[in-house]
Every structure is written in C-alpha cells, then in structure tokens.
Amino acid sequence: MVILDTSLAIDYMHGIKKARDALVKYQGQQIGITILTKYELVRGENGRNAVAIRSLLEKSMMYYFTDEATEEAAKIYRDLKAKGKLIGEIDVMIAAISIVNGETLLAGDSGFDSIHNPNIEVVK
C-alpha cells in the first residue's frame, strides 16, 4: 500500500511523468489517500477534473484522522516548530496518518523532507 499526498495525487491524475514514474515501483499495490486529501481534491473539483477525481477516490483506500494520528501530528508539529521548519497543517496531518498506519507516503511537496521518517518519500 502506498498513500499519496494531495500534490502527488493531482500530478498523477494529470499524467505528470514524475508522479507516474514514482508509482511504478508500487505497481500492483492498492493506492491509499487520506480523508484530508479527499477534502482538498473535492474542494477543487470542477467540470474538467470531476471524472478523474471521482475515479481516483473510487479506487483508493481511505485513511482517516484518528486519535492516534492526532497525537502523532502534534508530535510532528512540535518537532518542526522547534527546528523552525513548519509546513502546512494539512501536510502534517497527512504525514501523521501514514506514519500511524505504517504505510509509505509518496509526497510531491518538498516540505515533507522536514519530517524525518523512512516511510515518507518525496518525489522530485
């Protein structure tokens, strides 16, 4: 299983080469997204991208922001704040969800580099 962050999910839906290439290594595995990525995708839905978004949502396993993920997100936030490397709140929560579920997170946003976890892969 591999969880996509929002920016990588968008790149994947648009057929961006770096996103497609990154997923080759996970071919045959189910794609997961977090409820937060779903929110970000659905809020940007319009006539041009609705089919692609709904298709991705239908074939993806959904991961939720649980109590355990809340605690992990707070820990990540405090660590990043102490280092002066804060990233977006939603990105912190997406990372926490993947960490507590023991899944690999494929991220298209370089801010995830600030979170030191071997299961977070930033696609460049």
| pLDDT tens-digit profile, the chain (124 residues) | 999 999 999 999 999 999 999 999 899 999 999 999 999 999 998 888 899 999 999 999 999 999 999 999 999 999 999 999 999 999 999 999 999 999 999 999 999 999 999 999 999 8
What is this structure's pTM?
A: 0.94
Q: Provide the 10 A C-beta neighbour count for residue 3.
A: 26
Rounded to an integer, what distance in angstroms lies between the CA atom of residue 25 and that of residue 40?
25
CB 80 within 8 A of CB 115: yes
> Parallel, antiparallel, or unpaired: how do β-strands 31-34 and 120-122 relate?
unpaired
Cα separation of 66 and 84, whole Å?
Answer: 26
Q: CATH classification of 2-122 is 3.30.200.190, yes or no?
A: no
Q: Which residues contact 92 (CB under 8 A, 6 or more apart)?
A: 73, 76, 77, 80, 115
